[in-house]
């Protein structure tokens, strides 16, 4: 099936892109095209104008800035996967990226495109939610930095303003003690979208007690969610403590049923994967040399 007719424009700078997007409510951004091109071909998307942002100056690249790892929206997923700064400062993203699609899709797909697409099962949005990253958008009115809770508003739905686009994401770098991460997901085949996924990051102090912890769950409800496992702080984590904390935190998980899995299955697997991801993260942190 062929896409419905559309005009294609390649703006030279961000201001021009915002001007085109705000002048035409039927305009749509295209970046790596890995999700949008199949949707165009199946006529699930019929924009009047495609605005190609992939080569806009200043929208790609990875840098450390004011305690955050900043990733430009049009940075290819493979570039983030291979980045020494990501491996060093954002090990949770480094652990999640190999699960995003396949090498050919990561060669084209962008970090910002995955955030803007807002698939509830996508790995990059899950890491952004877990670490409470800041997602930055820009339109003719200027720049807006949003928390993931404000940015992700439903399945494939975001708070990107009309006439605007995602320009970067700022992941906080945990600077303190020994840090470990854990990432697990269940899908029909490797690299398919996850039925359920769990991402965890743990920081431990000199005495081996947990000093900071984050746990996120994806694929269960209409957007990735952060679970409150703050009860682990101050604790030396063992299996029982872990299961109790995850059980308590996952109690209110809002889960959906679909062709792939029931809500009950998703809730059960979320508890299991959540505990596994936390256990891996804690073990990895403990194994690290004292800073
Ligand atoms: C076979 C296959 C398997 C895949 N498996 C996975 C998977 O397991 N996990 C996963 O997370 N993803 C998966 N994907 C999707 C892939 O990661 C896409 O790259 C990603 O979803 C979209 O990024 P893109 O740059 O390709 O965006 P595009 O396809 O160009 O755009 C996607 C959407 O985002 C909007 N958009 C893009 N960039 C911006 C921006 N800067 N600002 C505002 N809006 C923007 C577009 O308008 C469009 O609505 C898979 C894709 C394929 C083809």
Say whether pLDDT at 194 is over 80: yes
Distance CA 8, CA 5 (A): 10
At residue 2, the pLDDT reads: 86
Domains and CATH numbers, the chain: 7-52 (3.30.43.10), 62-172 (3.30.465.10), 179-290 (3.30.390.50)
Q: What is the pTM of this model?
A: 0.98
Q: C-alpha distances in angstroms, 215 versus 92, 125, 180, 254, 273?
A: 11, 13, 12, 16, 10
187 lines ligand 1 (CB under 6 A): no
What digits encode the pLDDT tens for the residues 158-185?
Answer: 999 999 999 999 999 998 779 999 999 9
Say whether pLDDT at 263 is over 70: yes
Say whether pLDDT at 8 is over 80: yes
Distance CA 218, CA 256 (A): 12
Q: What is the mean pLDDT of residues 275-284?
A: 97
- Work out the pLDDT band at 248, boundaries 50, 70, 90: very high
Compute, in angstroms, the gap from residue 111 CA to the centroid of ligand 1: 8
The more confidently predicted of residues 17 and 2 is 17
- Work out the pLDDT band at 252, boundaries 50, 70, 90: confident
What digits encode the pLDDT tens for the residues 144-161?
Answer: 999 999 999 999 999 999
Q: Which protein residue has the closest C-alpha to ligand 1 atom 36? A: 113
Say whether pLDDT at 290 is over 70: no
Compute, in angstroms, the gap from residue 114 CA to the centroid of ligand 1: 4
135 lines ligand 1 (CB under 6 A): no
Given the structure tokens 């398919």, which residue do they identify?
Answer: 192
Say whether pLDDT at 251 is over 90: no
Give the orientation angle of helix 263-287 with respect to helix 239-250, to 10 degrees. 140
Query: Mutate which of 34, 47, 192 to test ligand 1's pocket (most atoms within 8 Å of Cβ)?
Result: 34
Check if the beta carbon of residue 20 is closer than 8 Å to that of residue 139: no
Please state the atom number of ligand 1 nearest to the C-alpha of residue 137: 42
What are the residues facing 291 on neighbouring strands?
Answer: none
Burial class for 200, CB neighbours closer than 10 Å (0-12, 13-18, 19+): buried
216 lines ligand 1 (CB under 6 A): no
Compute, in angstroms, the gap from residue 287 CA to the centroid of ligand 1: 36
Check if the beta carbon of residue 282 is closer than 8 Å to that of residue 179: no
185 lines ligand 1 (CB under 6 A): no
What digits encode the pLDDT tens for the residues 22-78?
Answer: 999 999 999 999 999 999 999 999 999 999 999 999 999 999 999 999 999 999 999
166 lines ligand 1 (CB under 6 A): yes
Say whether pLDDT at 1 is over 90: no
Compute, in angstroms, the gap from residue 17 CA to the centroid of ligand 1: 19
How many helices and strands in the chain, by DSSP H and E?
A: 11, 14
At residue 176, the pLDDT reads: 77
98 lines ligand 1 (CB under 6 A): no
Distance CA 114, CA 91 (A): 18
């Amino acid at each position: 099936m062929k896409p419905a007719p559309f005009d294609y424009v390649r703006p030279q700078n961000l201001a021009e892109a915002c001007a085109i997007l705000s002048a035409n409510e039927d305009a749509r951004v295209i970046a790596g095209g890995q999700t949008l091109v199949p949707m165009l071909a199946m006529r699930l998307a019929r924009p009047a104008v495609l605005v190609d942002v992939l080569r806009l100056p200043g929208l790609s690249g990875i840098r450390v800035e004011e305690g955050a790892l900043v990733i430009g929206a049009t940075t290819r997923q493979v570039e983030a996967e291979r980045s020494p700064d990501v491996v060093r400062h954002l090990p949770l993203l480094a652990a999640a990226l190999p699960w995003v699609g396949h090498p050919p899709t990561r060669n084209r797909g962008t970090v910002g495109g995955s955030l803007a697409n807002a698939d509830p099962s996508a790995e990059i949005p899950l890491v952004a939610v877990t670490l409470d990253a800041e997602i930055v958008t820009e339109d003719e009115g200027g720049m807006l930095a949003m928390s993931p809770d404000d940015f992700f508003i439903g399945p494939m739905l975001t708070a990107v303003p009309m006439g605007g686009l995602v320009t970067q994401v700022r992941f906080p770098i945990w600077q303190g003690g020994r840090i470990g991460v854990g990432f697990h997901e269940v899908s029909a085949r490797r690299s398919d979208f996850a039925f359920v996924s769990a991402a965890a990051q743990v920081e431990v102090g000199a005495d081996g007690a947990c000093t900071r912890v984050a746990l996120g769950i994806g694929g269960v409800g209409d957007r990735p969610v952060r679970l409150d496992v703050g009860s682990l702080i101050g604790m030396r984590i063992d299996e029982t403590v872990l299961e109790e904390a995850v059980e308590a935190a996952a109690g209110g998980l809002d889960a959906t049923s679909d062709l792939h899995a029931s809500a009950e299955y998703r809730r059960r697997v979320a508890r299991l994967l959540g505990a596994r991801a936390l256990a891996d993260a804690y073990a990895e942190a403990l194994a690290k040399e004292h800073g």
